[in-house]
Amino acid sequence: MEIARSTKNKNIRLVASEPAVRPYVEPLSTIDLFCGAGGITQGFHQAGYNCLYANDLMPEAIDTFRHNHPSTRAECKSIEKVNAADLRQSLGIQRGTLDAFVGGPPCQGFSINAPNRFLNDPRNSLFRHYARFVEEFAPKTFVFENVPGLLSMADGAIFEKILHVFSELGYQLSVKILFAPHYGVPQERWRLILLGSRFGEITHPSPTHFAKGRANFRGGGSLTLQPNTADAINLAPAVTVGEAIRDLPRLNMGEGAEEVGYTIDANSPYALRLRSPDGVTFNHVAAKLSKQNIERMQHVPPGGSWRDIPHELLPRGMQQARKSDHTKRYGRLNFDGLSSTILTKCDPHWGTVFLPDQNRTLSVREAARLQSFPDNYRFLGSRVSQYVQVGNAVPVLMATAIAKAVREHLEGNVTANATTVAAHG
C-alpha cells in the first residue's frame, strides 16, 4: 500500500517559485529528534548529510551522540521545553530549507480508545511535539520511524490519524515496513518507515541483500518488500552473524576492556567495512553470568534456545511455558544465520544472547556490530546504559539506505517549482 496525500494547513501555503538552478551541495542538512545514541544520524552521515541539531532525554545517549558527532548541537532536554521557532532562528534556518527531518517518537503512550483526540492526550505529547517541529521547520522531507505494531493500535485508527496530521502539513506520504537484513544488516529487525515530501512520493530503498523474514504483524503482507527466490540471483546474500562478529577478539566471561586492539584479521567484507582504521575498537567486555545461567548455557547448541535446557534447570516460570512460546529466550546465536532483534538488555532470559562458540553473552561491541555501527563508534555511560543505547538504535546501514533514497528523491526534484513558506496571520 502506497499512501499519498497532500492538503493545505492554515499556517502553510504553497507558492510558485522559480525553478532551482543549483544542484545539491554536500552535505545535506538534517535534524534528529529522539536521536538516542545516533543510529539514524550515523546512517545519514554515511550518505552525505550533516545533522544540525539533535535532541534526546537520555543523558548517556546524548553523551554518546556528542562524542561521535561533535559538530552537531546535541541537547539533552525535554522536547516539550524546546521552542521550535527559537531553535530554527538560532540555527539560522529558513522555513522550507531543511533537507530532511528524522526521528521516531516513542509510541507507548498512543491512546487506543480515543484516536480522534490523541493529539490532546498528554501521554501522546512526544508525537505532538514531533509534528510541531515539522510544522515550524517545514522541511523538504521527513523520515518517521517506529515499530510495526503502531499499525495495529486502535485497529489502525491511530496510524490513520498520524497520516492525516502530516497530510495537513502539506506532505505526500509513502509507508513501508523495512527488514534490516535486506540492507546488509545481520539482524532480524523490522521497522515501520513513513516518508514524507513536499515534492511527491519518496520511493523506499529497494533490497540490496536477499533474506526471508517472517512478517507476522499487521501490514506484513502489503507493506513489506519480500524478494522472491528469483531475486536472489541479483542480490547479495544476507550478512551472517559469523561475518559480522567472528573477527572480534575472543573473550572469556569477565574479560575485555572499553578499548581493545584487534587480534584477528577481518574475515568478511562486512567486518572490513566496520573496522576502525586506528586498529582499536571499544566497549568489548564480556559480562559475568550467574551460576545457574552458566549451567543452562552448556545445554544450548548454536541456533538452540530454552527448549534445549533440561526441565529441572529452567526458571520456575519457564517450566510452565509451552515449547512453542518464547522461542528466543536462552538462545545461542548461529554463525551461519541472522541474529534475532538486538534488545535493550543482554539478558539470556529475554533473548538470544549466547555466543555461537564461546560460553558467554554478547559484548556491547558485538551487539553494535549486529546493529551495523562502525567500530570507532564509542558508547559512553554504564554498561547497562550502553546496551540500552545499542538496542534502541535504528540499524545504521538501514538508515543509510533510507538516506540514499531520500537523497535521490531530493536530487530528482531540485527543479521543483513549488516550495512551502510561512503564512503568518
How many CA atoms lie less than 13 Å away from 218 in the CB half-sphere?
A: 12
Which three cell numbers, joined as nine digits, stand for 32?
534528529
Query: Three cell numbers at 421?
Result: 513558506
Q: Where in the chain is the domain with CATH 3.90.120.10?
A: 241-392
pLDDT in tens, 178-233: 999 999 999 999 999 999 999 999 999 999 999 999 998 889 889 999 888 888 89
- The whole-number pLDDT of residue 202 equals 97
303-334 residue pLDDT tens: 999 999 999 999 998 998 888 888 899 999 99
Q: Among 3.40.190.10, 3.90.120.10, 3.90.920.10, 3.40.50.2000, what is the CATH number of 241-392?
A: 3.90.120.10
Paired residues of 260 in beta bridges: 281
| Segments of the chain assigned to CATH 3.40.50.150 | 12-231+396-422
Which candidate in 35, 51, 107, 346 is catalytic?
107
Q: How many Cα atoms are found within 13 Å in the side-chain-facing hemisphere of 129?
A: 23
Architecture label for domain 12-231+396-422: 3-Layer(aba) Sandwich (3.40)
pLDDT tops 80 at residue 343? yes
Annotated active-site residue 346? The verdict is: no
Say what percent of the chain tops pLDDT 70.
Answer: 87
Report pTM: 0.89
**Size (the chain), residues:** 425
Closest CA to 163 of 140, 192, 191: 192
| Chain segment 220-269, per-residue pLDDT in tens | 889 999 888 888 899 999 999 999 999 999 999 999 999 999 999 999 99
Identify the pLDDT of residue 272.
Answer: 97
What phi-psi label fits residue 328: left (phi over 0), alpha (psi between -120 and 50 degrees) or beta? alpha
Contact assessment for residue 242 and residue 336, using Cβ atoms and an 8 Å cutoff: yes
Asked if the model's pLDDT at residue 376 lies above 60, the reply is yes
What is the phi-psi region of residue 406: left when phi exceeds 0, alpha when psi lies from -120 to 50, beta otherwise? alpha
